[in-house]
Amino acid sequence: MWDVIDERMGISALAYPVPEHANRLAWTLGGITAVSFVLLIGTGIVLSQFYAPRPEIANQSVRAIESTDWGRLFRGVHFWAAQAMYVAAVLHLVRVFLSGSYKKPREGNWLVGVAMFGLLTFAIFTGTILKWDQESYEALGHNLEIGNLLGGLGFWFSPTFSDQVSILLRLYGAHVVILPGLILVLVILHFLLVKRHHMSPHPALPVGKSHEQAAAAEPTQPFTRHIRRLVAFGIALTGILGILAVLLPAPIGSTAVAGIEVTKPLWMFWWPFTLENWFGLPAIGWGEAVFFLLLVILPFVDRSPHRWWRHRPVAMTIGAIVALALIALTILMLVMPAQQHL
């Protein structure tokens, strides 16, 4: 029976050899990010059956979901899975940076990863707005203001873009259709490029003659073992997220009141909001633009063949400065009171 299925589905093609180091935890962070994405899709499908993306009843529909044990569990898992995916994606980017895995011939796949990270950030932002409480209302206000600052480029963020459809419904459509669809396409492309270029060599191990692949002498294991590890991690992650959903339920604030600004965003947005407190609302856009620009130009600026971090002092120094700046800005948001910007 397996032969019949495999002949038609080509499942055995997944058993291609990968270097042994690819099955270490640090090299599975991309897969853990994908597992979190699957959890988000699954719980999102359930939640979409009960959420009403209409401004007058959106908050009440979320409260109705929270009023049942199963609804509270699914929403909690969805909430924590989004943060797990963000953390795993950040750690994956850090691992790729430290191991020099963005270097030739993998520059294109690095850009695909950066694009997915940007889409993930926007997906979390739109998800914040959907609960339509005070935090959501203020987040939407920032969204609209930045759209105005972009001029013609920000037309989609304007409430007048579509007279027949509210901006909440359009953001809901972006959250459940546009953004997941784009991420899914890029995930498939990302994995195809990994298969095309093979797993990047471990910087502390010998490499092949081209310095772009693992040494032929390094032991290999089938990729299916890598998948089995991801399944195990996925089961453990689901259990952890379920515990978090029970012990620390997803928050839902009070009904929005216009004209005030008293909340803080989710922690992954703290650093640009610290810039906003210092330099005004445009600093959010400029800060994000500079951050993603640095990520985009990285593989085209760092062209040396060296991958071991000790042999890349300039890249490591710049990376450390950026990381420390983001951490410092995030911590400052903890102690700074919310300010009026809108």
d(CA 272, CA 280): 10
Does 17-262 carry CATH code 1.20.810.10?
Answer: yes
CB–CB of 252/62 below 8 Å? yes
- Element housing 18 (H / E): strand 17-19
The pLDDT, as a whole number, for residue 68 is 95
Secondary structure of residue 220 in the 3-state scheme: strand
Would you write out the chain's pLDDT as a tens digit for each of its 342 residues? 989 998 999 888 888 888 988 888 888 999 999 999 999 999 999 999 999 999 999 999 999 999 999 999 999 999 999 999 999 999 999 999 999 999 999 999 999 999 999 999 999 999 999 999 999 998 988 888 888 887 777 788 777 788 788 899 999 999 999 999 999 999 999 999 998 998 899 988 888 877 788 888 888 888 888 888 889 999 999 999 999 999 999 999 888 887 778 888 899 999 999 999 899 888 999 999 999 999 999 999 998 888 888 899 999 999 999 999 999 999 998 887 767 766
The pLDDT, as a whole number, for residue 342 is 66
Which residue matches tokens 């978090």?
244
The pLDDT, as a whole number, for residue 253 is 86
Which residue matches tokens 């490591």?
316
d(CA 47, CA 232): 25
- Element housing 221 (H / E): strand 220-222
Count the Cβ atoms, other than its own, within 10 Å of residue 76.
22
